[in-house]
Chains A and B, each alone.
Chain A
């Protein structure tokens, strides 16, 4: 008997949990209705139950086959998320150039080493590109720099 595939099992279990969550929340908060006159809760409940069932099937399948999958990255997704988050936080109060700078400089950290010259040059070049494409060419009303202070 092969060792159960732990990752596959977790994936299935997470889907089951998600399905149960959706179905339970919909069942508690929205009208289910009848088969003829369905309420807003009916379809989410059906789908949540289906998702939970598929999750169970995937989790059960984990006992039938062995693992062969990619490494799991932790740091890279965090840095990329931080880079997008920085953009989202800065774009309104500070404007596009600071947001692009923060986004690009943080994103380059995902390479594993910090090369300030490369990062800042790239950020500068991309800021100009963004200005040319989005403001000059497409004429979107996005402020370049805001001073909230």
Chain B
């Protein structure tokens, strides 16, 4: 009966008018930003992050999470109608979604996407609500050494799987942790890297960092490059909104496989919805009876990745909520939102704040339902939004960023920090450095330092005795293997590229 009581508590929390309103607001804004090409979940969440300072923690998380999975829905709309992925996790959907739209079946594709996403979301929520308490209970015995090892694994995985080279990813993690040391050291009370300024004694603000790195630098590189797009009038023929019975018959197995793959990849550090979508598309193509249909408008190629990325969106919360270790930059922002309110996610979260945990999970159900209701009738509105020219859009985004940064502490200094990180973010783009590992390092930085120092005290300064603890040892070995593998894969890719370059030169 325990689970029923928890569900009741969760529903009670999720269905209060305030939470319901912010859940709706979150999924609405999420869909909106997901539809607009070039603005991803990270930019969306970091722009609205300052709002959460003024909300209850549960409400704040419900809203942020709504934006997060809302962008996945919105992103697929842009993929299908325009062949432009609104978000990276729906890039695969272009492959078969756009051909369907060209055949005049956009309506069916969008409807099946909504069904697949809903299914994947629900599947992920189930996995989430079963496994989080289990993992939490298991993690209660973890000491500082285990946490240090797990965080290290998370950081290495995030840099190994980002699209840039693993060395660049690791360099950015280091930079992120270094930036996190700015401010008062909690263990000794020493002010570090403040240069006598009182404004940074509390550390650099995570919202200013995220808005600068993901919002402002994105604007700088998109101006005059993002054009508004004309729609193929044939693509938005809504008469065929209803999928055929054949569509459903073909879809249910891919949805099940996609959700399973998504649930697995969502929990792994460093992977997440994008990888899950690509893997499930690959799997569908491999198991299909007629693989040649793929790329020409196969419904399986739309529903499988869409259910996978939505399932992964949900299960990404498992390590985040049970261990306090985010697997991606988006999850790092979720943890940041909780820490702002003085809640440190970890194994005690489920037992200490059951209303927060179960309320959040129940809000996922509500949010997914809202998304289906929101997406199908409002497709016309989303389509029209796609044609808002960028030169009107970016000053508005910039204004929201400025006011948002200011409203956190009513400090003009924070706005300037946004500017500084905007420039840093653009410089990183120029040099091809990934920004997500930096944010992850920044959020985990204080924790990893604290656990490292504490673990070393307990180990009496002997690093090797730490490895003799079974869990720590295993996790550290996995981390090392991952590092070796990713360096090897990087060298191999570089060699292949060099061979291709040499070939191209000899042809000239």
Contacts and interface: CB of A to CB of B under 8 A. Distances in A.
A80 B216 contact: yes
A103 B401 CA distance: 11
A54 B178 CA distance: 14
Interface stretch (B37-45, B288-296, B453-461): B453-461
Contacts of B426: 73, 77
Contact of A91 (B170, B223, B406, B432): B406
Contact of B223 (A40, A61, A110): A110
A106 to B, nearest CB: 9
B54 A38 contact: no
Nearest to B446: A43
Interface in A115-149: 118, 122-123, 126, 129-130, 134, 138, 140-142
A30 interface: yes
A142 B412 CA distance: 12
Interface string B419-435: 10011001001111100
Contacts of B460: 36
Interface stretch (B81-89, B307-315, B387-395): B387-395
Contacts of A66: 501
A4 to B, nearest CB: 13
A142 B407 contact: yes
A39 B406 contact: no
Interface in A85-127: 85, 87-89, 91-92, 96, 99-100, 103-104, 107-108, 110-112, 118, 122-123, 126
Contact of B452 (A43, A48, A84, A123): A43
Interface stretch (B100-108, B182-190, B339-347, B366-374): B182-190
Contacts of A7: 430-431
Given A80-B220, A81-B422, A104 B398 contact: yes
Contact of B453 (A30, A43, A70): A43
B192 interface: yes
Contacts of B457: 36-37
A119 to B, nearest CB: 8
A23 to B, nearest CB: 9
Contacts of A42: 453
B165 interface: yes
Given A38-B453, A44-B178, A134-B407, A84 B430 contact: no
Contact of B174 (A10, A51, A73, A107): A51
A18 B171 CA distance: 11
A136 to B, nearest CB: 14
A61 B167 contact: yes
B245 interface: no
Nearest to A69: B432
A40 B412 contact: no
Interface string B374-401: 0000000000000000011011101101
Interface residues on A, range: 35 or more
A34 B461 CA distance: 8
B51 interface: yes
- Describe A's contact surface by its main secondary structure: helix
A85 B416 contact: yes
B219 interface: yes
A126 B412 CA distance: 20
Interface string B131-173: 0000000000000000000000000000000000101101100
A15 B494 contact: no
Interface in A1-23: 2, 7-8, 10-11, 14-15, 18-19, 22
Nearest to B497: A65
Contacts of A138: 51, 54
B398 A103 contact: yes
B429 to A, nearest CB: 7
Interface in A32-81: 34-40, 42-44, 47-48, 50-51, 54-55, 57-58, 61, 64-66, 69-70, 72-73, 76-77, 80-81
A69 B428 CA distance: 12
The 3 closest A-B pairs by CB, nearest first: A11-B431, A35-B461, A36-B461
17 contacts: A7-B430, A7-B431, A15-B171, A31-B188, A38-B453, A40-B190, A43-B452, A54-B174, A61-B167, A66-B501, A69-B430, A77-B423, A83-B398, A84-B418, A89-B412, A126-B396, A129-B396
Interface of B: 51, 54, 165, 167-168, 170-171, 174-175, 177-178, 181, 185, 187-188, 190, 192-193, 216, 219-221, 223-224, 391-392, 394-396, 398-399, 401-403, 406-407, 410, 412-413, 415-416, 418-419, 422-423, 426, 429-433, 449, 452-453, 456-457, 460-463, 494, 497-498, 501
Given A58-B165, A91-B402, 13 more contacts: A22-B178, A25-B193, A51-B175, A51-B178, A54-B170, A64-B494, A65-B498, A81-B419, A83-B395, A87-B402, A91-B412, A96-B403, A140-B54
Interface of A: 2, 7-8, 10-11, 14-15, 18-19, 22, 25-26, 30-31, 34-40, 42-44, 47-48, 50-51, 54-55, 57-58, 61, 64-66, 69-70, 72-73, 76-77, 80-81, 83-85, 87-89, 91-92, 96, 99-100, 103-104, 107-108, 110-112, 118, 122-123, 126, 129-130, 134, 138, 140-142
